[in-house]
């Protein structure tokens, strides 16, 4: 077993200090770390540091990428794939710190070097959405979901050099679970509603349903979206006429019917569509 694999086993077994000490000893021996792939050792150390001090890890990555300090030559020795990995990692740390401009710069540089991961496009998409650039944001969010689904199906390797692959847990808490995706979707839907462009969000919801076909919340959100899109397409007179028709129908059916079904959607969506 290599020192890197041994450190991974130790870390995941709860022996954090032992894992860190093992890799720090390897790193201090220049010849040994080069023979064992110094890039993998560096990534493991950064990831562990990120769990303990995300701000410090992010600042250190920034100095490495900028060619400052003792690791200037380390950066120069990196190939394009390795540089793109560290650029993406820095982008994630910057985004977690609320530094959207720095995050966007690092992530787009990573993409220009060939980095193509779900988290990269998720964050780039969110930044575009927050800048009111809805179409671009949704395009990148869909790209992130597509890559994630292909990774889950083992069509793409995708997991190599992913932040969290050494410790088993993302140090920034980022993942692509339905709960996180719903938060992103709500943010995009707010922007789309303000721009009167809910149709643009529908494709993102469909992509999310493909990824999580058993999630009833997504189906309910899609139904709310479809209803809102139809309502937006009506003229004021048509809305009044339809509302009156529904009210008359409800009065006619009242003696035989039970209470009308209410669509329960995730927190935030019902209130958004009532606005």
Query: Is residue 260 a part of any domain in this protein?
Result: yes
Helices (H) and strands (E) in the chain, counts: 15, 0
Q: What pLDDT was estimated at residue 259? A: 45
Contact indicator for 165, 46 with CB cutoff of 8 Å: no
As a whole number of angstroms, the distance between CA 212 and CA 221 comes to: 13
What is the residue-averaged pLDDT of the chain? 84
* Statement to judge: residues 148 and 206 lie in one domain: no
Is a pLDDT exceeding 60 seen at residue 156?
A: no
Cα dihedral 167, 169, 174, 175, rounded to 10, equals 120
E strand or H helix at 9:
helix 3-12
Query: Is residue 60 a part of any domain in this protein?
Result: yes
As a whole number of angstroms, the distance between CA 155 and CA 105 comes to: 29
Is residue 185 very low, low, confident or very high in pLDDT (cuts 50, 70, 90)? Answer: confident
- Taking alpha carbons only, the member of 215, 218, 211, 214 closest to residue 186 is 218
Is residue 263 very low, low, confident or very high in pLDDT (cuts 50, 70, 90)? Answer: very low
Q: How many domains does the chain have?
A: 2
Q: Which residue has the higher pLDDT, 244 or 58?
A: 58
Q: What pLDDT was estimated at residue 53? A: 95
Full domain range(s) for residue 95? 37-174
Q: What pLDDT was estimated at residue 210? A: 82
* Statement to judge: residues 169 and 74 lie in one domain: yes
The answer to which of 24-28, 245-249, 259-263 has the lowest mean pLDDT is 259-263
CATH number for position 160:
1.25.40
pTM above 0.85, yes or no: no
Is a pLDDT exceeding 90 seen at residue 21?
A: yes
**What is the arithmetic mean of pLDDT over 207-226?**
84
- Taking alpha carbons only, the member of 86, 93, 105 closest to residue 161 is 86
């Amino acid at each position: 077993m290599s020192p890197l694999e041994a450190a991974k086993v130790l870390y995941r077994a709860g022996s954090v200090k032992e894992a860190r000490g093992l890799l720090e000893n390897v790193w201090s021996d220049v010849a040994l770390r080069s023979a064992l792939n110094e890039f993998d050792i560096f990534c493991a150390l950064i990831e562990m540091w990120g769990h303990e001090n995300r701000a410090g890890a992010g600042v250190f990555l920034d100095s490495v990428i900028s060619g400052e300090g003792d690791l200037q030559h380390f950066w120069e020795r990196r190939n394009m794939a390795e540089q793109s990995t560290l650029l993406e990692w820095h982008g994630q740390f910057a985004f977690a710190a609320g530094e959207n401009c720095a995050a966007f710069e690092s992530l787009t540089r990573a993409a220009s070097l060939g980095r193509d991961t779900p988290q990269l496009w998720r964050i780039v998409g969110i930044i575009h959405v927050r800048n009111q650039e809805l179409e671009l944001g949704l395009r990148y969010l869909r790209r992130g979901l597509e890559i994630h689904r292909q990774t889950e199906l083992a069509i793409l390797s995708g997991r190599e050099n992913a932040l969290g692959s050494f410790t088993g847990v993302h140090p920034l808490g980022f993942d692509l679970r339905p709960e996180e995706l719903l938060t992103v979707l709500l943010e995009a839907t707010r922007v789309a509603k303000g721009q009167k462009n809910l149709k643009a969000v529908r494709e993102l919801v469909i992509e999310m349903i493909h990824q999580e076909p058993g999630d009833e919340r997504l189906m309910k959100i899609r139904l709310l979206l479809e209803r809102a899109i139809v309502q937006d397409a009506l003229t004021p007179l048509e809305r009044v006429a339809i509302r009156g028709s529904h009210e008359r129908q409800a009065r006619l059916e009242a003696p035989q019917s039970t209470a009308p079904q209410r669509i329960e959607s995730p927190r935030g969506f019902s209130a958004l569509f009532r606005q």
